Amino acid sequence: MKIFVLNCGSSSIKYQLFNIEQKELLTKGIVEKIGLKGSFLKNKRNDGDSVKLKIEIPNHQEGIKHILDIITDKSHGSLKNLNEINAIGHRVVHGGEKFNSSVLITDEVIQKMEECIELAPLHNPPNLKGIYSMKKLLPDIPQIGVFDTAFHQTMPAKSFMYAIPYSLYEKHSIRRYGFHGTSHRYVSQRACETLNLDYSKQKIISCHLGNGASIAAIKNGKSFDTSMGLTPIEGLMMGTRTGDLDLGVLFYIMNKENLNSKEAYALVNKQSGVLGVSGVSNDMREVEDAARNGNERAKLALEMYFYRVKKYIGAYAAAMGGVDLLIFTGGIGENGPETREDICKDFEFLGLEFDKEKNAGKRGEEIVISKANSKVKVTVTPTDEELVIAQDTYEIVTKL
């Protein structure tokens, strides 16, 4: 069965096409700079064929049309025609309290997704554009929505409630939702599978460290707590986001710097984090290089980054009454051996015996980086959100 996965952002569309029974990725690509100058489409087939087309792409629907053209193209395509696609899986960022698992997209579901827009005004609208475009272009093919927030819907109220007037939760649904749920779900299940552990009986801490970063406590197979909140700003220090911040600081800055709420939002979302502290970059590789060359602020940014992940691991171990498995994933988690070593330092008191040799120099590999006798297992588990979306889509459409 061929499953087409779409991940529509505000100015980009990522896509992958799977032969799902074999977990085989047939082709993948990206459309970038939608509605901007210099828009292009890049397609990479699994046999190595690669093509980049510089074309004007004024909107998402046009972008998707070009994608459908290239995947059925005689020279660069993977399909003879579009009828070969059995189902489409969409990444949807925010499902609010309305969705706790992946669903078949119906008119009623779209209505509910529309209602979630106010919770993610930047992310959900492009996701919906993808859904509307596909409905128009391929109306007979079932579409499935897979939500970043769904996995975290199992959190208990003590984890998801903010200490604000309860009426604001009732009135505006203000609470912690968490993100990266598809990734946390995938890597936690995958790591248990590879280590032969019973998923339903583990206390797991999953660190998704990318440009955006979040950490999740997963107890007995269910998300118990996670660091991102109503929005992706809360929690760990990130590439350009503050993570946890004394709210008083924000009011103080707004006063001192005369910022309105939009400017303040941009400050905590786009100008802070590793970039803000280091003044070098939001890209860890560049910050690590600068630190190696003696840049003190880059060193400080890295120290803060590691320390904050460490604090969350401690907090979640306490929250769950222990930890059996610690997982690293995301661009930095998968490719940053120094980051992993630093974060895992001095965790012997938890029963974590880190294996420096197994960890050193390893990038993008699925490996165990704890010693054989370590009570807490530590893994690097590369994430694959698109595969999860394809698998969820497959499971739902085969039951239709």
Binding mask 296-335 for ligand ADP (x = CB under 6 A): ----------------------------------xxx--x
Q: How many CB atoms lie within 10 A of CB 346?
A: 10
Of 285, 311, 356, 375, which one interacts with ligand ADP (CB under 6 A)?
285
For residues 244 and 263, give the distance between their C-alpha atoms in angstroms, rounded to a whole number.
18
Q: From the CB of 65, what's the least distance to ligand ADP, in Å?
A: 26
Binding mask 65-84 for ligand ADP (x = CB under 6 A): --------------------
The smaller minimum CB distance to ligand ADP, of residues 302 and 376, is found at: 302
Selected catalytic residue, list 73, 107, 148, 244? 148
Q: From the CB of 364, what's the least distance to ligand ADP, in Å?
A: 7
DSSP H helical ranges for 30-179: 60-71, 107-115, 124-137, 157-160, 166-172
Whole-number Cα distances in Å, 158 to 161, 176, 184, 225, 300:
6, 10, 20, 9, 33
Footprint (CB under 6 A) of ligand ADP, residues 359-398: 363
The smaller minimum CB distance to ligand ADP, of residues 69 and 283, is found at: 283
**By CB under 6 A, is residue 232 in contact with ligand ADP?**
no
Cβ neighbours for 266, distance < 8 A, ≥ 6 positions apart? none
> Is 148 annotated in the active site?
yes
Coil/strand/helix, residue 165? coil
The smaller minimum CB distance to ligand ADP, of residues 78 and 335, is found at: 335
Q: From the CB of 2, what's the least distance to ligand ADP, in Å?
A: 25
Of 20, 85, 144, 284, which one interacts with ligand ADP (CB under 6 A)?
284
Query: To 10 degrees, the CA torsion angle through 300, 302, 304, 307?
Result: -130
Of 63, 126, 210, 235, which one interacts with ligand ADP (CB under 6 A)?
210
Sheet holding 2-8, edge to edge: 50-54, 40-45, 24-32, 13-19, 2-8, 85-92, 143-147, 103-104
> Please, are residues 214 and 228 in contact by the beta-carbon 8 Å criterion?
yes
- Which positions lie near ligand ADP, rule CB under 6 A? 210-212, 239, 283-285, 330-332, 335-336, 363
